[in-house]
Structure formats: C-alpha cells, structure tokens
C-alpha cells in the first residue's frame, strides 16, 4: 500500500485517497516467459538469438 508520505508528495490528501503500487522488471518477466537462461543474451544483439522470438 502506498505510504501516506508518498501520496502527500504527489499533492494528494492521504486521508482521502489510498492506493497501492507495484513494480517489476520487464526483462526478468521476458526471461521467465521465454526461458532465457542469461539476461546478457538479450542484449548481446546476436540476431540468431533474437530471431527466435518473433
């Protein structure tokens, strides 16, 4: 749940508004979804690797 101080920093009243926030790594999600073993492969620009994900 969002910390009241963060809501206040955003200019909103934490007594009136509440919220949640979440985040994650897109690269890790792609890695997990496609079973990529090493994140570095995704950035090596090896076309033979990248072509597998059409």
Binding site for another protein (CB under 8 A): 1-3, 5-7, 9-12, 16-30, 32-34, 36-40, 42-43, 47, 50-51, 53-54
| Shortest Å, Cβ 17 to another protein | 5
Rounded to the nearest whole angstrom, what is the least distance from the CB of residue 38 to another protein in the complex? 4
40 close to 21: Cβ distance less than 8 angstroms: no
Token pair listed for 32: 């997990």
How far is C-alpha 40 from the geometric centre of its chain's CA atoms? 17
CB 48 to another protein: min, Å: 11
Q: Are 17 and 7 in contact (CB under 8 A)?
A: yes
């Amino acid at each position: 749940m969002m910390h009241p101080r963060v809501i206040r920093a955003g200019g909103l009243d934490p007594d009136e508004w509440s919220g949640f926030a979440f985040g994650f790594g897109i690269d890790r999600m792609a890695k997990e979804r496609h079973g990529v073993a090493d994140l570095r492969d995704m950035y090596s620009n090896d076309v033979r690797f990248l072509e597998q994900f059409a």
